[in-house]
Structure 1
């Protein structure tokens, strides 16, 4: 149901049927109905209730129930049909009319939209960013993750124990000034077979501190972090953990939670409506008038 103190709506709202005067939303879950787009006055089909359903999927009494009673049902019981309003040619797209309220909201959204609202996705950055920025060159709006397997017993490099670097409140300038110390004591990244054989068990957040040009590919000095490691032995010690020689192919961009364009608050969100002259939405469901 819609209404109440909501911060924003999910993308799912775009695929639900509803009415501006009703708190009830209906999500159709058949295989192809979610592909039917808005055609406005050019629509060649419409949605109707399956009132003469011989298989009894459609429960007509629900159309006279309150939204609360419909929400309280424990099984599905409403069936809609998409019927043509004129002859539809072969390969012609099936379109329905989402209603004037949807159209007006879409027009306002399109007129006010700016490409500046869009954020580049992790997939786009993984394909386009061949040379990665260090934290001194700029901050990526999404997470950087590194494939790195920690070998506690085999690694002979000591943990970084310089107090001037261990302080969690270090500023970027101090870290930059100590890069030579960090690199001297950093562990060396081990190639375990390339990205295709790298396991997600060893994928962890990382921060890129420095870049070293190479003949075949650049390598990076990074700070590694823990993040719910699936392998207990992969858990890093509490000290700051630096690794050098990390190749580009071992570093991935990953969308942080609730940061993709799907969660963008400026993205279009509106339920599918009906033509202004439609009487499909029952009066009993109009609880927001």
Structure 2
């Protein structure tokens, strides 16, 4: 890929990310512009700015910190909306930078087992397909395990991704035991000396304890084949769910020991600010974000791009 093509793809990715976070950036931008045109900066305005950021799902700690930073050296002065946006972007980037981490495949683990968890509709199966495409493009041998045995559609979808990425898929009948399936997939991947095994799981609602127990069982059974598995546990979060994402992270982290996050569905309806609250509260690595259905719409997470898109700063 030459420099011009790479620059173009970077710009188009930025556009998609910016438009995906439009709901959050517009709500912040409009409210801030409204506040700063009316009066000079005072305590009441800072409280109002804090409220705007809270409504954008950034979380209480981050909202308070951003508001305090806006106030530094600016009391009784006029302030522009752009100045506030710059402070928002800078403070949000500080929270996100420590969690923006690549997913590293440990070459000494064959296969490197990635368990993918999340509630129904979060985009788990599609994310697995995109990751399979990414790893295959890097020259790795990948296997997919259709562990969401409750939904026939999830099994079929994974088989399609397997064909697309030329990756073998281990699948059973709908309703079959997901732990046995994961056991068989790991045994086959080990025997075939494959590089990566991606395991799909049922879309457990965090209040369904029996489903969480099944997830624990799946991990326990895989460890009979290799006691170091899973090597990564990715929680896929739907960016449109807002505050509900916090309880999802808590439930899955407790059950499966989540090692990293993937945030999907960053389309115009997304409440992307929640990623900032998650980073502040849980400090779990954020590996990827998705802005659409295409393979190229899943990209590594970068703190600065995300912070600037949330603040509504143009690239």
Q: State the TM-score bracket (shorter-chain normalisation).
A: under 0.3
TM-score (norm 2): 0.24
Higher helix share: 2
Larger Rg: 1
Higher strand share: 1
